[in-house]
Amino acid sequence: MAVPDGAELTAQGSKLSYGDPATVIYESAQGPGTVLQLTVKSVRKGSLADFKGFILDDAYKQKASYYYANVSVKNVGEGDVGGIGVPLWGVNAANTLLPPVNFTTSFKPCPSKPLPKKFATGASLSTCLVFLSPDRGTLEAVSYRPSQEFNPVTWTGDLTTPKPAPTAKSKRKNKKG
C-alpha cells in the first residue's frame, strides 16, 4: 500500500500516551485499504448506572468494569474505508483484547458510531468507544492490532474523571439574617 508523501508510519510496538496520534496502514476485507491517523484522546471509567434502560442480560456484562475511550480517526491515505467500525481494541490486565461494544441505539454517556459510509481521503471522525473488562477488571491500554502477526500500537495514560454533577446542596445560597 502506498503511504502518502509526508506521512510517517508509526512503528509496530509503539507505546503512546493518550493524545498522541499514530499513523497506520489499515487493510480492509471489503476493498482497498488506506492509511489512518488514530488518536486515543482520553479514557474514563463508567458505571453500571450508566446503562440504566439497557438490558444487561448476562453476568459478563453485569460484573464488568466499564471504560469510555474518546478517539479520533482521520483518513490520510487514498482508499475509502467507510462503514467499518473504528479498528481499536481495549486490553485488560490479562492481556486479553476487548472489542468495543456495538450499540444499536444511542448511548449518551459515550456516543459510539462507526465510520460514515463514505470515509475517503481527508475525512475525519471523533467518537467514543465503550469497553467492558470482565470480572471488574481494569483497562490497561487501547490497542491497534489489525492481525495476530502485528506487534500492536498501544495507548496508555491516566483515566480522566468526569466533573461531579451539581447537587442541590451546592446550588443552595447561604441566607444571612
Q: Is residue 47 part of a domain?
A: yes
Inside any domain, residue 159: no
Containing domain of residue 131, as a range?
15-145
pLDDT given at position 165: 56
* C-alpha distances out from residue 113 to 17, 83, 129, 155, 165, Å: 23, 10, 8, 20, 26
Question: What pLDDT is attached to residue 3?
Answer: 82
In a domain, 53, yes or no: yes
Number of domain units in the chain: 1
The predicted structure's pLDDT at residue 59: 63
Residue 158 counted as domain residue: no
Q: State residue 170's pLDDT score.
A: 46
Unique residue bearing C-alpha cell 502518502:
4
Residue 163 domain flag: no
pLDDT of amino acid 60: 63
176 in a domain, yes or no? Answer: no
Predicted model pTM? 0.85
Pair 111, 49: CB distance under 8 Å:
no
Low-confidence spans in the chain with pLDDT less than 70: 59-61, 162-177
Residues shown for the chain:
177
CATH code assigned at 50:
2.60.40.1240
Residue 174 in domain: no
Pairwise CA distance, residues 125 & 75, whole Å: 9
Count the Cβ atoms, other than its own, within 10 Å of residue 103.
Answer: 13
Q: What is the rounded distance in angstroms from the CA atom of residue 88 to the CA atom of residue 115?
A: 12
Q: Which three cell numbers stand for residue 8?
A: 510517517
**Has residue 110 been placed in a domain?**
yes
